[in-house]
Each structure stands twice: as C-alpha cells, then as structure tokens.
Structure 1
Amino acid sequence: MKKSIQLFLILFVTFTSFGQSKKDKVLFTIEGEPTYVSEFSRVYKKNLDIIDKKDQKEIEEYFDLFLEYKLKLKEARNLNLNEKDAYKKELAGYRKQLSRNYLTDNNATEKLVKEAYDRLQKEVKASHILIKVSLDSAPQDTLVAYEKIMNIRKSIIEGADFGEMAVKHSNDPSAKGNKNIPANKGNLGYFSAFRMVYPFESAAFNTKVGEVSMPVRTQFGYHIIKTEDVRDNVGEVTVAHILLLDVKENESKEDPEQKIKDIYSQIEAGGDFGKLAKRFSEDRSSGVNNGKLPKFGRGRLRSKAFEEVAFSLKEPKEISKPFKSEFGWHIVQLVSKHGMKSFDEEKPSLERKIKNDKRANVINSSILKKIKKQYTIEESANGRNDFYDLADATFFSKAWRKPTDEAFNNKTLFQVKDTKVTYGEFATYLQKIRARAMVKNPEAKSFINRYYTEFMNGRLMAFYEADLENINEDFAAIYGEYRDGLLLFDLMETEIWEKAKTDTIGLEKFFNAQKEDYKWEKRVEAVIASCTQEDAAKKVQQHLNDGKSLDEIKEAINKDNKVNVIFSPGIYEEGHRNLPKGFKFEKGVSKIFNDGNTDFTIVKVNEIMPVSYKKLTEIKGKVISDYQVYLEKEWIKTLKKNYKIKINKRTYRKLKKLVK
C-alpha cells in the first residue's frame, strides 16, 4: 500500500497559488476552504502526461480521488500533524536543500564553468608587484596605495625593469627573498585556474604576453601583473621516486650522490624500482608504496627541479638519471600520464569548485541584482551615519558593546516588503564580525560600510529564499508536492498502515469475512525440468520415468561443463506461469512440451492438491494490504461525514470543458 501512495502523491500534488484569475471557478469547498478548477486541471493534465492511456480514468473518477486527497490533507492539518517537530525538521531540511538550486544564476554559473575550463587548458607564467592595503583601510590610505602602484607601473611602461621594481617596491616578501629563500623578483612561475585568487587569475589570463596589467584589487592590496608566457596544460602525472636526503639532513656519513648513482646502476642492471624504493628511499611516506606519489600537475610542487624531470619523461616505466633538488638526490620513474579531461567530464567538479571559490561572488552579485529589481528596498536615510557615531575609540577593542537603548535597537535599518531589519540586528552582527577582524588598524567607517553591504546582502538572500514559494512557480510546485506528500504519508502511517499491522483481531475478522477471496486453486506438487535441446529432454523424461533422483539425472545429463537440464521443484497453482501451455493435472511424468524454439519442458507430478482455503499465515502480507484498502475506504466515508463538503454542481457539470 505504501508503494501505491507514491503514485497517488505524483498524481495529486498541490502548490501555492500565484493569485487566482477572476475567471477561475471554485470547484468545491471543504469547511468553506475553496479548491479551484485550475488546481484540479493541473493535476489532471499532469496525470495524462505520465500515465499510460490504458490506466487513465475518466475525469469524474479523478474528481472523486482528488476530493478524497483534499479531505485527507484537511484531516492531517486538523490533527496538527504539520506541527510535529519531526515533520517540521524534515520539511525544513528538504526546503533548504531544494532552495539551493534556486539561489543561483544558471547563466552566470555556466559562463564561469566554461571560463574555468578554458583557462585550465592553459598555464600562464606571470610576475607581480604588490602594494598592500586592506579592504577596510581609510579612503585616503587606499588612494595612496593606488597612486603608488600606478607610479610603479608608469616607470615600468617607460622602461624600468619589472623584476628590479619588484625587489625595490613589492610588499610580497618573496620578491626580495631572504637568507633561506632566493629572491624571485615577483616571478610566480606557471599557474592555471583556481591557483590564485580570482581577480588576480583573471588579470593574468586577460593580459597579453609581455604587457603589464592595470592595478588589480584583491584582499591583499593592489597588484600589477606582467604576463610572461602562456603554454598548454599537459595534464597531470603519477610518478614514483627514490630520495636520498642531502648530506646535511642525512643521519649517516654516506655520500648521497654516490649512493644514488649506485642505486641507479642496479636499476640499469634490471633491479626492481619499487623494491629499491622500499629499501633505500628516505621519503618513507612514498617508499612503503614502491616510491609512488599522488598525481600532480605542473606548478603544484615546491620543487621546480623535480617537477621538470617528472614532466620530461615520456613513456610509463621510463626512469630519469639521478638529479638533485632542494630536498636531496632523486631518481624518478614515470607511472602514468593523465591528459586533460573533456568539458562534460570536468563540469561537475568545476561547479563544486566555483561554489567554494571567490567566483561565487559573481553568481551572488547576479542574484542580488535580480532581488533588488524584484523588491522595493527602503533604507534608513541616517542608518550608516548612526553607526559611524557608535565607532568610538573602543570600537575595535574587547571593551566595545552594542547599544542597550531599546529605542535605538528597534529602529528600522532597512525594509523589504513587510520585513523590517533593525539597528539591533546589525549591531549584533557588527560585534561578531569586529571580534574577528584580522586587519591591523582598520578604519571604522570603511569597516562599517563593507560589513553593512555584506549584512544587507545576506539578509536579502535570506528573504528571497524565504519568499520562493510566492515568486517561483516551479519551486512552489516541487516544494508543495513534498510538503503535502510528507504530511499525507504521516497521516496514512498513523491512521491506516500501522493500524492494519497491529490490529490482529480486526485483521483476522476481515480475513474470515473475505475467505472466498483467499482460496488455492487446484495445485500440484511437482518437478519442472527445463532443457534447451530435445535429445537431452528425451533422456531426462526417460530417467524420470525410471525413478532416478534429480542428482543422478543431473550427473548423467550435465556433462563437460554444459548445463543441459535445470530442475525446479515446488508447488504450482493451476495457471502458474512456469507450467507449460496445455499441461494437464495428472500424476506421473508428462510429455515433452516445446515452445517451438529451444525450450523443452517436462513435468513430473508427485501429488495433485485439491481446491482449498488459504491459511492467514500463508498470505498475511496480501491480507494486510487488502485490509489497508478496506480501512481506507471506511475512513474516507467517515471523513465525508465529518467535514462539510460543498460541490459547485454547475462548475462540476462543465468540468470536461473547463480543463481542456
């Protein structure tokens, strides 16, 4: 019965109305609550689309089923099943999950996915100069940083060397280097999509080779980027290696260079690379796995020397000569190469990455633009100024507290439709964010402006999500289906299914009253032999007549690993699908039945069993299912008596015309 309810829910699903047309007629009311022709029409037409014609009922029959469905929902709500904590929790979880699909801009997402895929096919080599300035810095400090980076760019355009300017001016410490790390002069090497913050990545990919970008703002400050080169992305490699640490790190007094050469000689002489890695490699994490490392792409490793050798190998099992990196001496063996995947293969992974990347801001901006067009948003004229006044000398210290003045906290900061967001809510948000501020010496006004926008955008997104049933017909339909379906399921579980399983006295009484419906037809206790060849069938028939056991017959017939006969012993009711056409209920071994192809069947009847009544224990599952149907019918009769139903007879008579 539970399976049938699933089909019922597919057929009869309602959803939030988007405003009834003046022409829309009331079809019926239950306790004065109207149901319109348009709702019934949607259900009826949906059913015509998904159900085979042979299963389609007349419109009058659907009307009866639809009315019963509405009655059940009315009963569920009157029993307050929609107030149960378990129901609310499950419904809220489903709504949250479903709404994610509607809080995105598919066009923007598709463009970002395509952009990311195209960029992943390439690797760009770039250098940069950074002038640090926080997102919360005062406007005058931001302007100073911008002018400084612009002056540096001007000097480079006029002929100054980019690397020298990076060493002299860049706030990225790697540009100058230190005693442990040589200066990179701003050179970041090769990288592809998702390796840098999105604005930086875009500037690097969009700047022509040899040119210097205009200033790019990231959370770190202002950058200028020089694109040095662009090359094809060859994908990833899996390699194994043997590592001997440099003599400074090596605990023994052995010369690692000589030892790696000795190991290489053993490999050249036919030694097993994996076994030698297990024995000698001082990278223990990979050594235990025959030296194998996780796959990686270019630009992913800290050692460029190692990376260059790994990607220079052409064929699997090819082995490099010994070489030195920052970590010691290596021998590398190529395990496999992994080429770039197709767009369709990469798309699901890229969509997930984009949601967790700064690119998601592009999607959110698109949604927010849509929200701001859809709703009228009223902002307090003095809101920001009132919060600027709160930012005293203690604002960025632990001593600052949100105002306790109720008149202040209850002021409206902004309003969307009937929903008001108060000063107090923003003050609470500011207090939490301020405690997490990581920037040194932020400027209060810039800080408040930044997080006011963030707070407002978050509330707009939350409002939009909460309002989805009213503005998105597709969401309303899917959510309404689940909401009503879950409610109806709980109702049926409570009123019918559990009762049918636990009411043993009622079940037995129902069974005894319907005994004529639960009878065994004539049956046989028999063995059915199935063969694919006539010769085998004749031999089986003879062996059965001779009284040989099934094991003896199988041993004689199934030879040379060929299964020439399959036996199926059991009790078979008259008309059973396994009994051959034309079979007669007679004791003994039957003739050979043939379907005209390769199916040869013999039946040996051991006993003929007469028509008899079934026992409840034999068919309890079937009886419970029938009892549920009976209980439901009786329950529907009660509901129709308990609720005042008024059918608009004139509209009902015209129903066929109205739902066309």
Structure 2
Amino acid sequence: MKMNRLIIFVFLLSQSFLFAQSKEVLFTIDNHPYYTDEFVRVYNKNLDLVKDDSQKNLDNYLELFLGYKLKVEKANKIGLQNSVNYQNELKSYRNQLSKNYVNDSKVTNELVQEAYNRVQKEVRASHILVLVDEGATPEDTLKAYNKILDIKKRIDNGEDFVKVAQQFSEDPSVKENNGDLGYFSAFRMVYPFENAAFKTNVGQVSKPFRTRFGYHLVKVVDKRDNRGEVTVAHIMILKPSAADAQLEAKAKQTIDDIYQKIQQGEGFESLANQFSEDKSSAQKGGVLQRFGSGQLSSEEFENVAFSLQNKNDISKPFQSQFGWHIVKLIDKHPVQALADMKSELEDKVRKDERSLLITNSLAKKLRTKYTYTKEQKLLNQIKTMVTDDFYSQTWEIPQNKKEINDLLLTINKTKKVYSIIFLKYIHTQQKSNIKTRPISKLVDELFEKFIDEQLIAYYNDNLENEFPDFKYVMDEYRDGLLLFDLMDREIWTRAKTDTTGIKVYYNANLNKYQWKKRYGVDIFSSTDKAMIEKAQNFLKKGKSIEYIKEKLNKDGKIHIMVKSGLFEEDYDILPQYQNLSKGVATIVSKDKYYFVVNVLDVKEAGPKDFNDCKGKVISDYQQYLENNWVDELKKEFDIKINQDVFQTVKKQLQH
C-alpha cells in the first residue's frame, strides 16, 4: 500500500498545524466525544486546499467532519482496527514518519554539504560485483572477499577491466553493458558505492568495498560537470513490436515526413499532438517531465536532449531502443545554489543510507538526554553464559538460567528492559561476523550498541509526547487507514461486484451516458491552401489516401498529413463544420493549417452501450453509494452536537 492511499479525504492532505485552542466537546457519537481543538485545527489547515467554497462554510464543514468521524466509528465498530494488516501498516507508516524526527542537525548539515558538492559532478563508472548476502555466513563472506581480491590482482597486473568484468562479474546486466553504469551523480547509487566512485580518480580502480549487494570494484572512466536537468518535448514513432523490415521502414519514413514538415515551418507542438505515439506527452505538445543524466532508460535520448544548446532548438530524427524521436529543447535547468536545494537534499539524505550516520549521532545525544541504569552484576553473569560458539554462529541462549528474565536496563525510570531481550540480541548478532575477543569484551561491545538501540527505541516510542504535530499526524494516519479499509469493503468492492445494482443505476441514469454525434472520417491537413485544394479534388474523384500522399508529397517535401478514425462531433477541427454529412467537406482553416474532411460514416447521438462506459458507470455508482451511506450511518449511531459550543467556535473562526 502506498502513501497516497491516505489521500481519501481532505482532512488528510497536510502536515501543517496552525493553532490549537482549549478543548471542549463539539459532538459525541455513541457517547464518544470529539473536541473543538481538532475541528479548528483541520479546518484552518485546509482552508487553502479545498477548491469547493461550500466546504469553507462552517456549517457545511461540520457536516463533512461529522461524516468523516461517523465512518471512523463504523470502522472501529466492526473491528477493522484489530486487523493484523492494519496494525502492520500503521506501524510501517509510523516508522516512516518517525524518520523525520530521528535526526541530528549537525550531521545532517555535513551530509547535505557533501551531497551538494557531489551534485556538482557526474561520474561515469564501470563495476565488477561479487554477490554475497548481508546475512551470509563468515565462510561465504570470506569466499566472496577473497574472490574480489583475486579479481583486483588481475586488474592490478594489467588485465583489461572490461574483459575481467565479462568473465567474473556477477551483476546480471554485465552481459549487456560490460559493467558500464553510465553517468550518475549523488543519490543515484547506494551510499557506499557513491563514496567509492567519487573518491576514486579518473582511470583508477577502487579498493574492494562492500554494499548490501556484495563486494564491488569500481573503475572511474570519466568525471564531468553536472549537466543539470533539461525540459524537452519530443515526437515519437514507436518501434514495431515484432521485427518487420517493412514496418520499421514505415516508422522511419513517418518520422522523416514529420521532420520535413517541421523544416517547412509547421508547429512542433501541433505535429506532436497529431502524430506522436507517446500518448502520455502527445496531448501536451510532446513535453516531458524534466530529467537529468541517468534518469531515463535511454542514453541516446539523454545525449541528444543535452546536446541542444538554445531554447526551441530541434534535433534531427534519431533512433533509440524504443523507436524514432525528434526532440525540441524547452529549457535548461543548471544545478541550483545550495540555499535553493537544501530542503530537497535534506529529504534525500533522510531517505538514503546516509541516515544511519545521523542515527548513530542521535544515540550519543540521547545518552545525555535520558537517565539509564544498568545492572552490572547481571551483565557479568551474562558474560559467563556466552561462549566461543558465538564465533561459529552456533551459540544458543541457555534455558536453565534464572537470571534470563531479570531486569538488566532501566531508561528514565519507566522503561524496563530484561536480560532475555539482550540475550536474544546477542544471538541475532552472530550473523554479523564480529571478531572481537575475548568473549567478555565482545559482550561489552554489544551491550553498548544495545543501549543505543534501546535509547532510540524509547525516544521513538515517545514521539507523540514530545512532538504534538507528530501525534496529530499519527492520529490522522490511524483514522485514514481505517477509513480506506472501510471504504474498500463498504463502497469500492461493492460497486465493482454488485452487477445488478450497477445495471440498475446505469439504466436509471442513461441520460449521463450518451454519445455525441460521431463521424468516421479521414482528416487531411496542410499549411499550403493550394495543396489542400488539390487533396479535396482528388477526394471528390474517389482517390485513396495513399494515392493523394504520393501525388502531393514530392521533392522531399511533406505537404499533406492524414488522420483517420471515428470521432465525436467536437473533436479537433470537426466543430468548424456545420451539418457534416457523408462525402467530401469544404476546406476550413485553424491555427495556420488548412483542413479538408472526407466523411465515411455518420453515427447519430444516442446512448452508449454499457460496455462502452462501464468504468465511468462504476465510478459514478461508487459516488452514489457513498453519498447515501452517510445518511445510513446517521441512523445507525446516536449523534449529539453541542450547538452552543459550535456557535462559539464559529465566532472564533470568523473573527
């Protein structure tokens, strides 16, 4: 489940909190009180977010708020809060949110500065990977380490990096790229890999290093200034799905024809809209979301895009693994100043492996923030329980020791940590291949790490008490997840599976599902009026599209383009005509283009077949069910609104 599942109600759209007020009961649902401070908070924070002015009306907003809480009450009533999936998901969201609070500003600022320095550059590197799992046995880890050392010796002795990569690298992509990762900047690779790449000189090979994937060697091929990002538009003709020389030639001819029309002065955006087969961008004139090096899956496309120097420069047609393209430069976005990027970089640092450095720093601060006491005598007894079997990963927790369940650690006089927890921690650490000796020293080392983890866990568990805004967001997550599960059960699933109800709703609302008048047409376009007149004459003589294009697109110039299909009467240039009928229409003009339409078929306005509008019907049926559902909930629960309190709140908010 993704975070955007929570955006199911306007109350869950923001984490800003403007102000609170003294708590009074605004209303009760089955004697469960809901308070004015929450109502005021959510109303204020959403004032600028709601588009419907009616929701800003406090009486209407109270109805929305009440309806929302009724749904939450229903979810709790039927026990959705007890679902294991719900509990796990809520825990996952809390873990995600808490990362914003488990922070050390000094370390964060250092990491942000390091990242900004690296963002100035792009590194091109190749690598060799020897796979080894993070939890691998010492034997397997040593085997992998020795293998990467042997590979490093081969390279140091003069063997070609690419040939060695082809022979020994366990990265599956090596067969396609020979280990070449292309250009990348900060945050594109896992942090240890990024460190090795940026700290290795051009032409050099790094020392072996480990990531969660295994052991690596990196050869830095080049370093260059970061090209920043670009915004481009493109026109794309897709590569045929199957190898077919004739279809490939047709695709190439189409892109060449389009390029010729651009050279003749026709508008890039209009041609993209008409002919680009990238449906996600065609309707936007071919404009793509801005990107930087290494963000697209086509290096050819990136290189052409970045090679364009001035706004509105247009490339020649070129081929990528996806098809043929023409690219137009919209804008270039150089790397910003640190002040402008700081917030973005902080967010990336928190989500990156770098965050472990921040966590370690936090643990040191918590040792001074909280009081904690350890039972040294018990710790000494635990040292006698742990044997050298730890090093072979065969040590087991003794079962016959009464000290196993004794109190070992107390934090802030409230959190009690018992010895069994630490013993289990020691048991799990066997896979870490820790070599510290003697065993008593190893236990001391592990106990210090254990204290850090317990302090951070205590801090994390008490975030709601330390940070009111954290508590507010968690309350909203909690309600939002419940509401999503309830809506899925009561509305969305029902709307999809209630075939009888859907059909009844469709028949009762047939006026909402109507085709406009439709025409089966061939639409001819040109910027040359004389050419469109010739096309019109050919059409009147019954000539085919292929014949017309052959006669008019000559001498390396594309004068005529054609689009065919069944379209509603308001499509594209069709509204330019009145009372279209079968046959060749008159010539019309729009946006420097001339058009003539050959009408092959006419379908009168009328109801859509259910299958033609099924998705829309289901969506409308869902909304219908939800609108009536709140009325049903009002009958199910006992609701009491404190009108005097509400009037006081209204005066405060309207002041």
TM-score range with shorter-chain normalisation? 0.5 to 0.7
Corresponding residue for residue 637 of structure 1: 631
Matched, 1:507 2:502: yes
Structure 1 residues 643 and 351 mapped into 2: Cα distance closer, same or farther (>3 Å)? closer
Corresponding residue for residue 22 of structure 2: 23
Aligned positions of 1:89-128 closer than 5 A: 89-111=88-110, 114=113
* Greater Cα offset, 26-35 or 337-346: 337-346
Aligned positions of 1:604-615 closer than 5 A: 604-615=598-609
Shift of 1:659: 3.4
Shift of 1:55: 8.9
Structure 1 residues 63 and 534 mapped into 2: Cα distance closer, same or farther (>3 Å)? farther
Q: In structure 2, what residue type is equivalent to 1:47?
A: N
Larger radius of gyration: 1
Q: Is the 8 A contact 2:17 2:45 kept in 1?
A: no
Structure 1 residues 57 and 15 mapped into 2: Cα distance closer, same or farther (>3 Å)? closer
Corresponding residue for residue 43 of structure 2: 44
Corresponding residue for residue 9 of structure 1: 9
What do residues 551-588 of structure 1 show as CA deviations (whole Å, max 9, x unaligned)? 32233333345443333333443444542345334444
What is the TM-score normalised by the length of structure 1? 0.57
Q: In structure 2, what residue type is equivalent to 1:558?
A: N
Matched, 1:517 2:512: yes
Q: In structure 2, what residue type is equivalent to 1:639?
A: L
What do residues 44-82 of structure 1 show as CA deviations (whole Å, max 9, x unaligned)? 333333355779653433332222222222222222223
* Greater Cα offset, 504-513 or 600-609: 600-609
Corresponding residue for residue 541 of structure 2: 546
Matched, 1:422 2:307: no
Q: In structure 2, what residue type is equivalent to 1:9?
A: F
* Separation (CA, whole Å) in 2 of partners of 1:3 and 1:335: 37
Corresponding residue for residue 593 of structure 2: 599
Structure 1 residues 621 and 284 mapped into 2: Cα distance closer, same or farther (>3 Å)? closer
Q: Is the 8 A contact 2:520 2:602 kept in 1?
A: yes
Corresponding residue for residue 327 of structure 1: none
Shift of 1:417: 6.1
Matched, 1:455 2:450: yes
Q: Secondary structure at the match of 1:629?
A: helix
What do residues 156-214 of structure 1 show as CA deviations (whole Å, max 9, x unaligned)? xxxxxxxxxxxxxxxxxxxxxxxxxxxxxxxxxxxxxxxxxxxxxxxxxxxxxxxxxxx
Matched, 1:628 2:628: no
Matched, 1:485 2:477: no
What's the C-alpha RMSD, in Å, of the aligned pairs? 5.3
Among 491, 511, 521, the residue aligned to 1:526: 521
Among 610, 616, 626, the residue aligned to 1:616: 610
Shift of 1:602: 2.6
What do residues 333-367 of structure 1 show as CA deviations (whole Å, max 9, x unaligned)? x995536989979997999799879x956752444
Corresponding residue for residue 579 of structure 1: 574
Q: Secondary structure at the match of 1:486?
A: helix
Q: Is the 8 A contact 1:410 1:422 kept in 2?
A: yes
* Separation (CA, whole Å) in 2 of partners of 1:649 and 1:350: 44
Corresponding residue for residue 647 of structure 1: 641
Q: Is the 8 A contact 2:23 2:36 kept in 1?
A: yes
Shift of 1:615: 1.9
* Separation (CA, whole Å) in 2 of partners of 1:592 and 1:466: 73
Q: Is the 8 A contact 2:373 2:409 kept in 1?
A: yes
* Separation (CA, whole Å) in 1 of partners of 2:409 and 2:635: 53
Identity value in percent: 32
Among 365, 380, 389, the residue aligned to 1:388: 380
Q: Secondary structure at the match of 2:574?
A: coil
Corresponding residue for residue 360 of structure 2: 364
Corresponding residue for residue 556 of structure 1: 551
* Separation (CA, whole Å) in 2 of partners of 1:284 and 1:465: 48
* Separation (CA, whole Å) in 1 of partners of 2:224 and 2:72: 56
Q: Secondary structure at the match of 2:597?
A: strand
* Separation (CA, whole Å) in 2 of partners of 1:242 and 1:43: 64
Greater RCO (CA < 8 Å, at least 6 residues apart): 1
* Separation (CA, whole Å) in 1 of partners of 2:116 and 2:519: 67
Q: Secondary structure at the match of 2:99?
A: helix
Q: Secondary structure at the match of 1:48?
A: coil
Unaligned segments of structure 2, at least 5 residues: 121-153, 170-174, 183-199, 205-218, 227-334, 390-394
Q: Is the 8 A contact 2:21 2:37 kept in 1?
A: no
* Separation (CA, whole Å) in 2 of partners of 1:647 and 1:70: 13
Shift of 1:641: 1.0
Q: In structure 2, what residue type is equivalent to 1:530?
A: S
Aligned positions of 1:178-577 closer than 5 A: 337-338=222-223, 364-370=360-366, 372-373=368-369, 377=371, 379=373, 383-388=375-380, 396=387, 404=400, 409-411=405-407, 413-416=409-412, 418-426=414-422, 428-429=424-425, 438-441=435-438, 444=440, 450-577=445-572
* Separation (CA, whole Å) in 1 of partners of 2:430 and 2:531: 88
Q: Is the 8 A contact 1:108 1:363 kept in 2?
A: no
Q: In structure 1, what residue type is equivalent to 2:627?
A: K
What is the TM-score normalised by the length of structure 2? 0.57
Structure 1 residues 53 and 466 mapped into 2: Cα distance closer, same or farther (>3 Å)? same
Corresponding residue for residue 85 of structure 2: 86
Unaligned segments of structure 1, at least 5 residues: 122-239, 246-273, 296-306, 312-333
* Separation (CA, whole Å) in 2 of partners of 1:421 and 1:379: 10
Q: Is the 8 A contact 1:592 1:602 kept in 2?
A: yes
* Greater Cα offset, 404-413 or 563-572: 404-413
Structure 1 residues 576 and 34 mapped into 2: Cα distance closer, same or farther (>3 Å)? farther
Q: Secondary structure at the match of 1:493?
A: helix
Structure 1 residues 6 and 14 mapped into 2: Cα distance closer, same or farther (>3 Å)? closer
Q: Is the 8 A contact 1:31 1:643 kept in 2?
A: yes
Shift of 1:598: 0.6
Shift of 1:469: 3.3
* Separation (CA, whole Å) in 2 of partners of 1:117 and 1:524: 57
Shift of 1:619: 1.4
Q: Is the 8 A contact 1:523 1:611 kept in 2?
A: yes
Q: In structure 1, what residue type is equivalent to 2:639?
A: I
Q: Secondary structure at the match of 2:47?
A: helix
